[in-house]
C-alpha cells in the first residue's frame, strides 16, 4: 500500500482493518501514515515525503521522488505482494501500478483520480495500470464507461464513521469552551505548501473577524507535530488573538465549531458530514496556479459543491482569497441563519448518499479480485 497524505492514511487504516477480518495473517507494507502504522503497517519512509502539492513544489523534489518510486517498484517486483493498493496520490501511484501490473502483480487504486475535472485522458492509463478501481463517489463511475474499467463504488468511510447527529455543546465542553461561545475552526491544510500559502491569510482573516466580533474564539488543529511547530511560529505574530492550537483532533475540533475556514480538500467533506457551515479557500504559487487553472475544467473545487452540484459553500481561490473577502463570507457562515439552515440540510443529503460501509465494501472487492485472478488466488 502507498498513501500520500492524511486523507489517504484515514482510508488506508479502514481498509487494513477490514482486510484483517478476511485474512488474519495478512501483512501490509509500503508507505503510510500514523494511523496505518498503528495497525501494524510497515512504512518504508515517512508519508510526509509524498505530501507535496503544486507544480513547482513537486519539481523541486522530483529527483528524490523519482528515485523513491524506482526503489519501491524494484522492491515490489523482487518480492511480489499478492496485491498492491495505491491510495489516492495518482501522480505517484499510477506509474507504480503500471509497472507492477506489467510484472504480473495485481493492482488496486483506491480513490478515483479527478478525471471529471482535469486530465480526462487518464482513464486510458488507469485502464492499463489498474485491475480494480475503488470509487468514493457515485458520479465517478460514468466517466470510466469508455474503457470498461473494473470499478466498485464503495461510498466514503467518513460517512459511516461520522454520526449524522451529535452534541455540539458536549464537543465544545471537551475542547474547553462554553456552549454559548462562538467558535471558528481554522484549517489551512496538512501539506507544507498549503500552510505556506494559506496560514498567513487565515490568521489575518481571524484577526479582522475578531476585531469586528470580539466574542468569537478560534481553534486550529495541526495535522502532525511538524505542522504544529510550524503553526506555533506563525502565532507569535498574533499574541492577543484568542486562538487555541491543538495537535491533531481535527474531527473533534470541527464538531465543536460554529463555522470553519478551510483549505479545499478531503477535510471539506468531513466538515460537511459534520453539518458545518464553511468557507473554502485555496492558494498556491502564482505560476503553478496559472498553469493549473488552464488545465482544470470543473465548475467547483470543493467536495460539498461537487457532490451537491451547486455553489453550496463559497470558494475563494488565489487572488480572491483575501482576508477582507474571507471575513465577509465567514460572517455569513456564522450569522446568516437561513443560509446556515440550507447548507446543513444539503449536508444531510450528502451524508445519506455516501453512508455505505466503505471499508468493508472495498475489502470485499479486493477479495473478489484476488479470488478471480489467474495470477494469484486468495486462500
> What value does the mean pLDDT of the chain take?
90
pLDDT band at 103 (very low <50, low <70, confident <90, very high): very high
Residues 318 and 367 in one domain: no
Contact 47, 24 (CB under 8 A): no
Q: State the Cα–Cα distance between residues 79 and 70, nearest whole angstrom.
A: 14
pLDDT band at 330 (very low <50, low <70, confident <90, very high): very high
Q: State the Cα–Cα distance between residues 350 and 53, nearest whole angstrom.
A: 27
**How far is residue 94 from each of residues 41, 108, 112, 129, 318, measured CA to CA in Å?**
21, 10, 11, 7, 29
In a domain, 163, yes or no: no
**Enclosing domain of residue 146:** 2-155+356-372
Residues 110 and 190 in one domain: no
Mean pLDDT, rounded, for 293-306: 79
Residues 238 and 274 in one domain: yes
* pLDDT above 90: residue 117: no
Residues 30 and 178 in one domain: no
Mean pLDDT, rounded, for 265-270: 90
In a domain, 120, yes or no: yes
Mean pLDDT, rounded, for 216-243: 94
pLDDT band at 297 (very low <50, low <70, confident <90, very high): low
Q: Of the given ranges (249-253, 282-286, 310-314), which has the lowest mean pLDDT?
A: 282-286
Residues 333 and 273 in one domain: yes
pLDDT, residue 292, reads 60
In a domain, 161, yes or no: no
Joined together, the cell numbers standing for residue 192 give 507544507
pLDDT band at 62 (very low <50, low <70, confident <90, very high): confident
Mean pLDDT, rounded, for 317-342: 96
Mean pLDDT, rounded, for 272-285: 92
Q: Which residue has the cell 510550524?
A: 230
Q: State the Cα–Cα distance between residues 260 and 350, nearest whole angstrom.
A: 18
Residues 286 and 151 in one domain: no
In a domain, 89, yes or no: yes
pLDDT, residue 283, reads 87
Q: State the Cα–Cα distance between residues 59 and 84, nearest whole angstrom.
A: 26
> What residue spans of the chain are helical by DSSP H?
6-22, 34-38, 55-60, 62-78, 90-102, 122-129, 157-161, 168-174, 192-212, 225-235, 250-256, 266-273, 286-295, 303-308, 323-335, 337-354, 358-372
pLDDT band at 118 (very low <50, low <70, confident <90, very high): low
Bigger pLDDT: 259 vs 7: 259
Q: Quick one: how far is CA 19 from the chain centroid?
A: 22
Residues 175 and 296 in one domain: yes
Q: What pTM was estimated for this model as a whole?
A: 0.76
* pLDDT above 70: residue 219: yes
Residues 20 and 140 in one domain: yes
Decide: helix, strand or coil at residue 234. helix
pLDDT, residue 294, reads 64
pLDDT, residue 232, reads 95
In a domain, 292, yes or no: yes
Q: Which of 327, 306, 181, 319 is nearest to 256 (CA)?
A: 181
* pLDDT above 60: residue 350: yes
Mean pLDDT, rounded, for 298-325: 92
User: How many other C-beta atoms are found inside a 10 Å radius of the C-beta of residue 270?
Assistant: 25
Residues 307 and 361 in one domain: no
* pLDDT above 90: residue 375: no
Bigger pLDDT: 153 vs 289: 153
Residues 309 and 211 in one domain: yes
For the chain, first and last CA: distance in Å?
20
For the chain, the domain total comes to: 2
Strand order of the β-sheet with 2-3 is 2-3, 83-87, 106-110, 132-135, 151-153
* pLDDT above 70: residue 20: yes
pLDDT digits (tens, 9 = 90+) for 166-206: 789 999 999 999 999 999 999 998 877 788 889 999 999 99
CATH code at 50?
3.40.50.2000
Which residues are CB-neighbours of 354 under 8 A, at least 6 positions away? Answer: 136, 137, 155, 156, 158, 159, 273, 307
pLDDT digits (tens, 9 = 90+) for 26-47: 999 999 999 999 999 999 999 9
Residues 118 and 190 in one domain: no
Mean pLDDT, rounded, for 323-349: 96
Mean pLDDT, rounded, for 298-318: 91
Amino acid at each position: 500500500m502507498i498513501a500520500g497524505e492524511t486523507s489517504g492514511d484515514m482510508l488506508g487504516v479502514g481498509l487494513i482493518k477490514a482486510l484483517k477480518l478476511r485474512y488474519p495473517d495478512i501483512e501490509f507494507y509500503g508507505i503510510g501514515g500514523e494511523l496505518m502504522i498503528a495497525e501494524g503497517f510497515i512504512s518504508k519512509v515517512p508519508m510526509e515525503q509524498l505530501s507535496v502539492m503544486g507544480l513547482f513544489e513537486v519539481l523541486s523534489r522530483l529527483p528524490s521522488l523519482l528515485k523513491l518510486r524506482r526503489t519501491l517498484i524494484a522492491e515490489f517486483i523482487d518480492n511480489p505482494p499478492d496485491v498492491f493498493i495505491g491510495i489516492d496520490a495518482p501522480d505517484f501511484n499510477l506509474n507504480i501500478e503500471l509497472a507492477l501490473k506489467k510484472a504480473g502483480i495485481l493492482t488496486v487504486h483506491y480513490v478515483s483520480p479527478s478525471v471529471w475535472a482535469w486530465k480526462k485522458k487518464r482513464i486510458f492509463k488507469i485502464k492499463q495500470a489498474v485491475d480494480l478501481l475503488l470509487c468514493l463517489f457515485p458520479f465517478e463511475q460514468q466517466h470510466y464507461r469508455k474503457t470498461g474499467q473494473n470499478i466498485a463504488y464503495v461510498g466514503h468511510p467518513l460517512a459511516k464513521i461520522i454520526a449524522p447527529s451529535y452534541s455540539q455543546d458536549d464537543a465544545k465542553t471537551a475542547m474547553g469552551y462554553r456552549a454559548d461561545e462562538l467558535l471558528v475552526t481554522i484549517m489551512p491544510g496538512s501539506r507544507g505548501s498549503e500552510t505556506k500559502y494559506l496560514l498567513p491569510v487565515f490568521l489575518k482573516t481571524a484577526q479582522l473577524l475578531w476585531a469586528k466580533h470580539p466574542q468569537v474564539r478560534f481553534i486550529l488543529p495541526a495535522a502532525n507535530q511538524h505542522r504544529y511547530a510550524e503553526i506555533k511560529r506563525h502565532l507569535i505574530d498574533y499574541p492577543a488573538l484568542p486562538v487555541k492550537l491543538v495537535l491533531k483532533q481535527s474531527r473533534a475540533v470541527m464538531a465543536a465549531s460554529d463555522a470553519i475556514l478551510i483549505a479545499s480538500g478531503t477535510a471539506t467533506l468531513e466538515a460537511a458530514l459534520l453539518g458545518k457551515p464553511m468557507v473554502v479557500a485555496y492558494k498556491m504559487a502564482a505560476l503553478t496556479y496559472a498553469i493549473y487553472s488552464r488545465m482544470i475544467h470543473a465548475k467547483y473545487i470543493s467536495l460539498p459543491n461537487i457532490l451537491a452540484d451547486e455553489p453550496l459553500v463559497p470558494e475563494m481561490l488565489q487572488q480572491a482569497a483575501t482576508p477582507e473577502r474571507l471575513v465577509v463570507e465567514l460572517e455569513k457562515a456564522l450569522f446568516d441563519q437561513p443560509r446556515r439552515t440550507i447548507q446543513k440540510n444539503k449536508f444531510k443529503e450528502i451524508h445519506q448518499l455516501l453512508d455505505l460501509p466503505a471499508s468493508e465494501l472495498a475489502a470485499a472487492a479486493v477479495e473478489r479480485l484476488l479470488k478471480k485472478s489467474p495470477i494469484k488466488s486468495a486462500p
